[in-house]
Amino acid sequence: MDKNEAKRRIDALTEEINAHNRHYYLENSPTISDYEFDLLLKELIQLEELYPEFKNPDSPTSKVGSDLETENAPFSQYAHKHPMLSLANTYSIEELRDFDARVRKGTDSPFTYNCELKFDGTGINLLYRGGILVRALTRGDGSVGDDVTRNIKTIKSVPLQLKEDSGYPAEFEIRGEVFMPFASFDKLNIQRELDEEPLFANPRNATAGSLKMLSSKAVSERGLDCVLYHLIAPGYENSLHSKSLEDAASWGLPISSLSRRCSDIEEVIQYIQEWDTRRHSLPYPTDGVVVKVDQYAIQTALGFTAKTPKWAVAYKFKPEEALTKIESIDYQVGRTGAVTPVANLSPVQLSGTTVKRATLHNADQMEILDIRVGDSVYVEKGGEIIPKITRVELSRRESGSVPETFPKVCPACGASLVRDPEQSKFFCPNSDFCPPQIEGKFLHFASRKAMDINIGEVAVHQLCEREYVRELQDLYNLDDLQLLSLDKWKGKSVENFRASLEKSKSVPFHRVLYALGIRNIGETTAKTLASRFKNIDALAAASREELLEVADIGGIIVDSIRGWFEEPRHLKTIEELRKAGLQFSLEEKAPVSDTLKGMTIMITGNYSIPRETMKYYIEAHSGKVGSSVTASTTYLLAGSKAGASKLEKARKLGIPVISEEEFYRIAAPGEEPKETQPQDGQMSLF
């Protein structure tokens, strides 16, 4: 590819990977498997190496995915004393041997490896002081994490106090994984299905969602567990990582007994091959093996990249697969109009469940695989609820089979389909009149994370089928006779529905914006937009340039926003919902001062406080947080590890670069900043 093509692909991959990171870390609803994500990341790494001039300073190849909430965060946030990095992944034994070769090249000293099962959960960092659990932080963005101590304390395997006189250091940190056993996961999803709530895709998503719940009592009912695998104790005399884990177990901490010291890479490979089979009998999710150099001195000598340690690697197991037959193919229309092909399969056992359906993703994937009805195919279940087909067993193809043709019109309403080249998907453009899309927008609007209205899928289907509702505002105008005509609805059902409608009028603006169902606008993006534009009218009037200035907002999202607001029906919906009493603006808080009024502050690097807290501090003093260094930037606030590209651009434009201390003197002259705890739980400096 030429340079122009490379730049376009790098930009597209960057935007796509950032979107997948939001789905994975913040929304706990990944749309692709880990393997597919790793392939995208690998492609971006290769392109950035070939064309370094096109690498974004904030490229996802250089930073850890973040689970931090940026607006109205319900948990306090604290900086990690030591960064929580991610691990390099591999699915190949050959790449594992390459890792071994790099380690041997980096040291002349003899060494061994320690192999540990990779638990599929969410990272946690525990701080013990005097044998007492003091604080538990999530990975966050690697530098800053959410304080979930009250929720971690509900996990029975995590000791609140270590064994007396067991020899633990006065203060230490230990890191590991919180996970959900299969039995707890199945129990949770059964209950969610009964409650007509969306099912969790896999135990990892369920774990991440549970750990961020506000009610510790509710967390305690989720059946979470924990395993720890990395001790950080400056001054604690020990030369081996494996011995440190043995010591931690003697103090009463939950350490896996299944790890193994290996003398060389061949023993490591034997361990991996053994557990690739044995893992299926475990009562909890594992997705690979972590291989670490056991000697601390050699770990220190090898060091780190910007994102990963050079002395460890994660070998990821390939998802389990089974061979079965395609009986037919359906084309489903989703809430946003995307048409997804789904194969109906001869039932087959896979990962402990009976699989009858598998997603085919899109027309391109069908063409690549050359999928045909009657084919024998291999099916994977890599953590998703609906498994996917990976390849066709051509040796079993029946003679006379016919290639599958993707429909040209919507299977639900007959409208001509249009193709989105950026997403390789076909869409039905008839969003306001296509039955599945109409039902989907009502279900999305009423969902718990949106307006939280007490109505289920069956009732929504009947309301739409009988044409009692066509636009979102119609929900607020239903009469009792219409509601009582719904199956199994009686007086109490109507009462609960009306109570939830009334309660929905106090739902904050960012959730209302999310509830509107604008394509590509998830919960996190809705929060970002609400924070930036403050009200629906300002968002509707925003130019393309203004939208692109918002952090993590790319061209695809901008096109979705502008296209949605250009439709008169949608503007009418907003006005009708506004009349019904819904919140279409943020509750404005009086600024602490106007010392930064008229100033645009761009921030880069790390500070003595979390970055999000610094943003709140700037806004609280009437300043604006910049999204990039431009001629209109007043100051570049540079912390430790400030971005070199931002510093260089500021120098070229003549923008003053100030330290954190200088910034405080400008924002609050004569005052020393101090931490306070606002009501929303977000650490701040006011």
What whole-number distance in Å separates Cα of residue 466 and Cα of residue 265?
66
Beta strands in 61-112 (DSSP E): 77-79, 89-90
Structure tokens at 280: 């299926």
The size of the chain, in residues, is: 686
Residues 6+ apart with CB under 8 A from 375: 325, 326, 392, 393, 396, 397, 401
Please name the residues in contact with 330: beta carbons below 8 A apart, sequence gap of 6 or more: 341, 342, 344
Rounded to 5 degrees, what are φ and ψ at 606?
-110, 150
Q: Is the dihedral of CA 532, 534, 536, 542 positive or negative?
A: negative
Cβ(203)–Cβ(121) under 8 Å?
yes
CA distance 146 to 395: 53
d(CA 455, CA 472): 13
Percentages helix, strand, coil for the chain, rounded to the nearest 5? 40, 20, 40
Question: Is-contact 111 103, C-beta < 8 A?
Answer: yes
Strand partners, 244: none
Question: Given its phi and psi angles, is residue 420 left (phi above 0), alpha (psi -120 to 50 degrees) or beta?
Answer: beta
Separation between Cα atoms, residue 139 and residue 162, nearest integer Å = 23
Query: Catalytic annotation on 118?
Result: yes
d(CA 582, CA 574): 9
Q: Which residues contact 557 (CB under 8 A, 6 or more apart)?
A: 520, 521, 525, 547
The answer to whether 216 and 136 have CB atoms below 8 angstroms apart is: no
Q: Tell the burial category of 435 from Cβ atoms under 10 Å away from its Cβ (0-12, 13-18, 19+).
A: middle
Q: What is the DSSP letter of 138?
A: E
Catalytic site residue from 118, 292, 425, 527: 118
In this structure, the strands spanning 132-138 and 122-129 are antiparallel
Task: Please give the torsion angle defined by the CA atoms of residues 152, 158, 160 and 162, in that order, rounded to the nearest 10 degrees.
Answer: -150
* Structure token pair of residue 546: 């203004």
- DSSP secondary structure code for residue 354 in this structure: E
Q: Is 429 left (phi over 0), alpha (psi -120 to 50) or beta?
A: alpha
Question: Distance between CA 185 and CA 432 in Å, rounded?
Answer: 37
Q: Which helix (H) or strand (E) holds 262?
A: strand 260-262
Q: Comparing C-alpha atoms, which of 168, 147, 283 is closest to residue 225?
A: 283
Among candidates 143, 95, 197, which has minimal Cα distance to 604?
143
In whole angstroms, what is the distance from residue 228 CA to residue 246 CA?
11
The owner of tokens 């330290």 is: 659
Pairing of strands 113-119, 260-262: antiparallel
Tokens of 141: 């963005």
Beta carbons of 171 and 235 less than 8 angstroms apart: no
Tokens of 227: 């395993």
User: Could you give the residue numbers annotated as active site?
Assistant: 118
